[in-house]
Amino acid sequence: MLKLSKAAILVSVVTVGFTLPAKADVSEALANICTIVKADDKAELRKKLRTMQSDYNMKLRDYYSGITCDGNSLIRTALLNNAVETGSLMIKKMPGSALQAPEQDGKTLTVWIEEKGLQSNPIVSQLNERI
């Protein structure tokens, strides 16, 4: 019985050891995504999305809601920084239902855009086509 409990403890420790670094690796992989969006570097964002897909089997919709850049979502950050290329790419990659859903502050993208007066931004026209 003692051997069985030692084995169970060993398995638990090993499992936790493998699980924790994976979460840290995802955070590290996404660390500079805000900088990429702000810089409007479409090629680098595309590369980051591919890396997340191949290394972690995660698509943009899987981690989009968990990332904030100065308190704003990635698409809001693109709108505020007039990052048309990266904003357009993210809108194409996100499902329409996610684009219509309220974000962390309870406002949808369209309501937030109207409040900020960003209707003339080219990203908004692509957003309107998707939703």
Measure the CA–CA gap between 75 and 4, rounded to whole angstroms: 51
Measure the CA–CA gap between 83 and 16, rounded to whole angstroms: 40
pTM of the entire predicted model: 0.76
**What share of the chain has pLDDT > 90, as a percent?**
40
pLDDT score of 31 more than 60: yes
Measure the CA–CA gap between 98 and 111, rounded to whole angstroms: 14
**What share of the chain has pLDDT > 70, as a percent?**
81
* Lowest-confidence region among 16-20, 95-99, 104-108: 16-20
Measure the CA–CA gap between 72 and 96, rounded to whole angstroms: 19
